[in-house]
């Protein structure tokens, strides 16, 4: 099965299954989201999201990591 062959379930979760499948197919895309590779003194990491094609850097602290 490929990431673009997700099966629509009764709950309407095909978008979730396709997203999870693409993570497995393209793990380098997920790795490239992380601006920082390690946590800093404040135990925070920077993650890049794209909203409508514009990059947004979001800082996530340890309460969101665990």
Over residues 5-49, the pLDDT tens digits come to 656 666 666 777 777 777 888 888 888 989 988 778 878 889 999
- 21 and 39 in a single domain? The answer is no
- 4 and 23 in a single domain? The answer is yes
Three-state SS sequence of the chain: CCCCCCCCCCCCCHHHHHHHHHHHHCHHHHHHHECCCCCCCCCEEEEEEEECCEEEEEEEEHHHHC
Query: Which residue range is the domain that position 52 belongs to?
Result: 34-65
pLDDT at 57: 94
- 23 and 40 in a single domain? The answer is no
- 22 and 1 in a single domain? The answer is yes
Q: How many structural domains comprise the chain?
A: 2
- 39 and 60 in a single domain? The answer is yes
């Amino acid at each position: 099965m490929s990431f673009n062959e997700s099966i629509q379930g009764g709950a309407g979760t095909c978008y979730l299954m396709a997203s999870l499948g693409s993570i497995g197919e393209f793990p380098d895309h997920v790795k490239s989201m992380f601006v920082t590779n390690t946590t800093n003194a404040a135990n925070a990491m920077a993650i890049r999201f794209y909203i409508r094609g514009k990059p947004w850097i979001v800082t996530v602290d340890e309460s969101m990591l665990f």
